[in-house]
């Protein structure tokens, strides 16, 4: 567990030392939301149908962008071999990086959420339900997204390939389910009304945390 902690701490230090990286993620989330606000400017502002897709698509793309360098920078800085030589199981690298990414993506989501309510002035929905969906959905997409980030770090055109590989597997699973739950929440539903989605998101997160834990060896040694 010491190794997981060490990697978690190192990731956050690298991420936050250079202010421009984190600012770029926030800026991207801001710009995506602005684009949506512009695209939907002629729509009825009280219609809740567009709320959930706008929120999740912003989170998905900004989140994926922040996952791109997680493994890529070890390759670029030639530090990957140093990690592989250390006497730690490779799964510790996956888990340490996963925890750090989760923290960054959660921060990004809170920022997005605040902006969202400024741009789209809905009444506040059931926040407990919204936060549950947000947390579980994020667990799932960061778990799978960081596995694919490890794969794409070894490909040419890493950034584009991360999107090409994640959209087919994430859009119709986590994003779809999260959008489904979130639009019900904006329609006035509480936690009880969305328990199917919540269960799905929890299962998805568990499946891919386990998958990453088991498959990271193959990816890092490829």
Partner 1 sequence: MSGVVLEARGLVKSFGRNQVLRGVDLSISSGDRYFLFGPNGAGKTTLVKLLTGLMKPDSGEVRLFGEPLEGEALAIRARIGFLSHEPYLYGELTAMENLDFFGQLYDVPNRAERSKALLKEVGLFARSHDRVATFSRGMKQRLGLARAILHEPDLVVLDEPYTGLDIRATATLERLIREKSAEGTAFLAITHDLAQGLEMATRAGILSGGRMVLENDPSGWDEFSERYLDVMGGGR
Partner 2 sequence: MELFGRIRLAFILISAVLVLNGIFLAMIWVPPHETMGDVQRIFYFHVASAWIAYVAFIVTFATSIVYMKTKDLKWDNWAVSSAEIGVVFTTLAILTGPMWARAIWGEFWRWEDLKLLMTLVLWLVFIAYLALRANVQSRRSKATLAAVFSVIGMLCIPLSFAANRIWTQSHPTVIASDQGEIVTSGMVPALIVAVFAMTFLYIALLLLRVGAAKLQDRADELKLKVGD
**Using rule CB under 8 A, residue 221 touches partner 2:** yes
For residues 220 and 201, what is the distance between their CA atoms, to the nearest angstrom?
A: 27
Taking CB under 8 A as the criterion, the residue among 26, 28, 50, 88 binding partner 1 is 88
Cβ proximity of 26 and 108 under 8 Å: yes
Please say which residue, 14 or 57, places its beta carbon nearer to partner 1: 14
- Least Cβ distance, residue 128 to partner 1 (angstroms): 37
**Segment 8-47, which members bind partner 1 (CB under 8 A)?**
9-10, 13-14, 17-18
For residues 63 and 113, what is the distance between their CA atoms, to the nearest angstrom?
A: 13
Cβ proximity of 7 and 97 under 8 Å: yes
**Using rule CB under 8 A, residue 78 touches partner 1:** yes
**Using rule CB under 8 A, residue 24 touches partner 2:** no
- Pick one of partner 1, partner 2, none as the site partner of residue 82 (Cβ within 5 to 8 A by kind): partner 1
Q: Considering only CA atoms, which of 178, 89, 98 is closest in space to residue 146? A: 98
Exposed (0-12), middle (13-18) or buried (19+): which is 29, by Cβ within 10 Å?
A: buried
Provide the token pair at 22: 């984190």
Q: Going by C-beta distance under 8 Å and a sequence separation of 6 or more, which residues neighbour residue 85?
A: none
**Using rule CB under 8 A, residue 1 touches partner 1:** no
CA distances from 5 to 100, 145, 202 (A): 10, 21, 24
**Using rule CB under 8 A, residue 211 touches partner 1:** no
**Using rule CB under 8 A, residue 51 touches partner 2:** no
- Pick one of partner 1, partner 2, none as the site partner of residue 90 (Cβ within 5 to 8 A by kind): partner 1
- Residue range at the interface with partner 2 (CB under 8 A); choices 67-75, 100-108, 113-121, 153-161: 153-161
Q: Tokens 């990697």 sit at which residue? A: 7
**Using rule CB under 8 A, residue 75 touches partner 1:** no
**Using rule CB under 8 A, residue 205 touches partner 2:** no
User: Which residues contact partner 1 by CB under 8 A?
Assistant: 2-3, 5-6, 9-10, 13-14, 17-18, 77-79, 81-90
């Amino acid at each position: 567990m010491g190794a997981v902690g060490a990697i978690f701490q190192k990731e956050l230090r690298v991420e936050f030392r250079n202010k421009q990286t984190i600012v770029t993620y926030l800026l991207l989330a801001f710009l995506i939301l602005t684009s949506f606000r512009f695209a939907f400017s002629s729509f009825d502002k009280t219609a809740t149908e567009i709320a959930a897709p706008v929120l999740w698509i912003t989170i998905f793309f900004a989140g994926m962008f922040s996952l791109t360098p997680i493994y890529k920078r070890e390759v670029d800085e030639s530090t990957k071999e140093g990690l592989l030589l250390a006497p730690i199981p490779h799964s510790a690298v996956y888990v340490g990086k996963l925890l750090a990414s989760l923290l960054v993506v959660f921060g990004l989501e809170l920022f997005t959420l605040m902006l969202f309510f400024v741009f789209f002035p809905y009444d506040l929905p059931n926040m407990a339900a919204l936060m549950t969906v947000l947390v579980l959905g994020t667990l799932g997409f960061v778990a799978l997204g960081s596995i694919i980030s490890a794969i794409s770090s070894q490909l040419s055109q890493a950034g584009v390939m991360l999107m090409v590989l994640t959209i087919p597997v994430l859009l119709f699973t986590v994003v779809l389910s999260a959008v489904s739950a979130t639009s019900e929440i904006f329609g006035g539903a509480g936690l009880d009304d969305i328990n199917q989605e919540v269960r799905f998101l929890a299962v998805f997160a568990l499946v891919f945390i386990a998958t990453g834990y088991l498959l990271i060896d193959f990816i890092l040694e490829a």
